[in-house]
Structure 1
C-alpha cells in the first residue's frame, strides 16, 4: 500500500507571482529539469478553466472575508499551498480517470476542511516525475487572515488522519504516514541530503547481500574440492585394502591339523599364522581408515547440501531484497528529483522578485530560521508540515 503525500507551505505576497507562473506554466523556460514541456498540455486546474491572476483573487477573497479594517502587514502570510501526491507505484496502478477522481476527492476534502470560498486554484501537474496537485488557498479563519491559527498542530493531525481515510473510502489503496512519528519538519535541502544518505545506505545493503551470496558460492566450490579429494582418498584406501588382504582361495589353501586331545584347537604352520595375523591387523587398520573417510565424505555431502540450501534461500531472499532495494532506490531518486524541483522552484521565485522583495524575503527567512531554532528547543512544540 502507498503512503499519502500532503505538504503545506505558507507564502507571503512577494512569493505569489512566482508560484502563479510555476503552477500555471506561464514561463517560457524552466530551471526545473523534471518538467517535460511536451506533456504540459496534459495539466489541468480543477477550479479554474483558464489561467487567473493569483494576487487579484487573493485580494478579492481577503476583502470579502476579513473583518479587520487594519492594513495587512508586509510580512503577513496571504497565500498557502497544499501539495497532494503519492509514490509513482500508486499512480501506475490506476487509470487516468481514477487519477483525476483521486485529485477531485482530495480537493473535496480540502474544500470542506478549509472552506471552498477560500480556494484559489487546484493545478494538477502531469508533466513532472510524479503526478501531483497544487491546491492554493487564502488562510482565512474566523474572519481573520492567519495561517498560524488555521494551520496549527491539530489541523495537521486532522488532515493526516482524515484525508487518507477519506480517499480510502473512495476506493483508493492509500494510507497515512507513520502515526506519532518523531520525524520533524526539515528544510528541503536538508531532507534532500538525508535522502542522498539513505540512497547510499541502500546501495551498501545491496552490496552486502551480493557479498554474502558470493561467500556461499565460494564455500560450495571449496566443499566440491574437498569432496573430490576425499573420494580419491576413499578409492585409494579401497585399493590398498583389497591389495593387502588375503583373498579367499589363499585362506582355503592354508593347511591345518587338529591338536591331540583338544576339540577347539587346530595346528597351522608358523608362516601361515604370521600371514593371517598381519592380514588381520592391516584389515583392522584399513577398515578404520575406510570408515573415517566414509564418515568425512558423508559429512561433506551434508555440508554441501546445507550450503546449497542456504545459497538457494539466499538467492530467493536476495531477489526479494534486491527488488525492494531497487524500488526504494527508484523512489528515493524520484523524491530527490522532486525536492530538487522544489529548490529550483524557490530559486525561480526569488529570481522573479524585485530587489526590495528579495531583501524582505531573506530578512523574513532569517527570522523564520531563528524561530525554528527556538521551536526545536521546546519539546512537543515543533511545527510539522508534511505527512
Structure 2
C-alpha cells in the first residue's frame, strides 16, 4: 500500500514563475512531449481570464477585501498532490485517473471552498502523475491578533464575525496542516493510498519513501520555476 503526497507552500506576488511552469509557458526539461497532450485543466477560468495568475487576481478583486494587500503578503497557496510513483502508475493502468482527479477536486473544494480554488492542473507528462491546485486563502472572522491586543489593554474596535480577510497563516497552522494530511489520506484510501507515519521521517523504510516522494515533487516544481 503506497502513500499520498500532499505538499502546501505559500506564494507571494503574482507567482508568475509557478504559473509559467504549471501552464507550460515554459516547457519543463523533465516533461515527455509525447504525453503533454494528456495534461488538462481541472478548473475552468472565468470569461476574460487567461491564466492562473490572472485567476488569483480576479478572486482577490471580487471577494470584497477591506484591508489593502501588502506587497509581501501571501496571495495564494500552492498545493501539489500525488501518490507513490508505482501506485499512481497503477491508478492510470486501472483507468481510474479521472475518478482520482474528481475526488481530489471534491476534497479541496469541500475543505477550502469552491470559489477559493481558482486553478487546478493535472500533469501526466512528468515522471509521476500529479495535480497542481491553487488556493486563494480567503477566510472569515476576526484576526487572531485581537486576543493579544486585549491582553495588553490596547483599544480594539470589534469587527463583524463575517469579515472577509486574506490570511494564509489561518489556513496553514500546524494543527490544520496535520489535519489536512489526515483527512486527505482518508479521501484517497479507496485508491490504496495511505498517510505517512505521523511525526516520523526515518524510523521506517516506508515512511522514508513517503517523505522522499513528497520532497521530490516539491523540489521538482521549484527547480522548474
Tell me the TM-score normalised to structure 2 length.
Answer: 0.76
Q: CA deviation at 1:35?
A: 1.3
Task: Determine which of 41, 47, 65 is the counterpart of 1:45.
Answer: 41
Counterpart mapping for 1:76-95 below 5 A: 76-94=73-91, 95=93
Q: Which residue in the other structure is 1:110 paired with? A: 108
Structure with the higher fraction of residues in helix conformation: 1
Contact residue 11 and residue 77 of structure 2 kept, 8 A? yes
SS in 1 for 2:78: strand
Contact residue 22 and residue 132 of structure 2 kept, 8 A? yes
Contact residue 42 and residue 127 of structure 1 kept, 8 A? yes
Q: Which residue in the other structure is 1:368 paired with? A: none
Q: 2:96, 2:40 → 1: CA distance?
A: 15
User: What's the CA shift string for 1:89-117, capped at 9, x where partnerless?
Assistant: 10232236302211220121110111100
Q: 2:169, 2:107 → 1: CA distance?
A: 20
Q: 1:23, 1:150 → 2: CA distance?
A: 23
Work out which of the two has the higher radius of gyration on C-alpha atoms and give 1 or 2. 1
Contact residue 6 and residue 214 of structure 2 kept, 8 A? no
Q: CA deviation at 1:153?
A: 1.7
Counterpart mapping for 1:324-343 below 5 A: 338=217, 340-343=219-222
Q: 2:60, 2:108 → 1: CA distance?
A: 19
Q: CA deviation at 1:19?
A: 1.4
Tell me the matched-pair count.
Answer: 194
Q: 2:39, 2:98 → 1: CA distance?
A: 11
Q: Unpaired runs of 5+ in structure 1? A: 184-193, 195-201, 203-323, 347-387
Q: Which residue in the other structure is 2:132 paired with? A: 134
Q: Which residue in the other structure is 1:12 paired with? A: 12
User: What's the CA shift string for 1:64-110, capped at 9, x where partnerless?
Assistant: 22431x32100000011111101111023223630221122012111
Q: CA RMSD in A?
A: 2.7
Q: 1:65, 1:59 → 2: CA distance?
A: 10
Contact residue 66 and residue 145 of structure 1 kept, 8 A? no
SS in 1 for 2:185: helix
Q: CA deviation at 1:338?
A: 4.1
SS in 1 for 2:75: strand
Q: 1:336, 1:108 → 2: CA distance?
A: 25
Structure with the higher fraction of residues in strand conformation: 2
Q: Which residue in the other structure is 1:344 paired with? A: 223
Q: 1:7, 1:86 → 2: CA distance?
A: 11
Q: 2:214, 2:171 → 1: CA distance?
A: 28
Q: Unpaired runs of 5+ in structure 2? A: 141-163
Q: 2:214, 2:7 → 1: CA distance?
A: 13
Q: 2:215, 2:180 → 1: CA distance?
A: 25
Q: Which residue in the other structure is 2:193 paired with? A: 174
Q: Which residue in the other structure is 2:30 paired with? A: 34
Q: 2:111, 2:83 → 1: CA distance?
A: 20
Q: Which residue in the other structure is 1:149 paired with? A: 170
Q: CA deviation at 1:52?
A: 2.8
Structure number with greater CO (CA < 8 Å, separation at least 6) is: 2
Q: 2:167, 2:63 → 1: CA distance?
A: 12
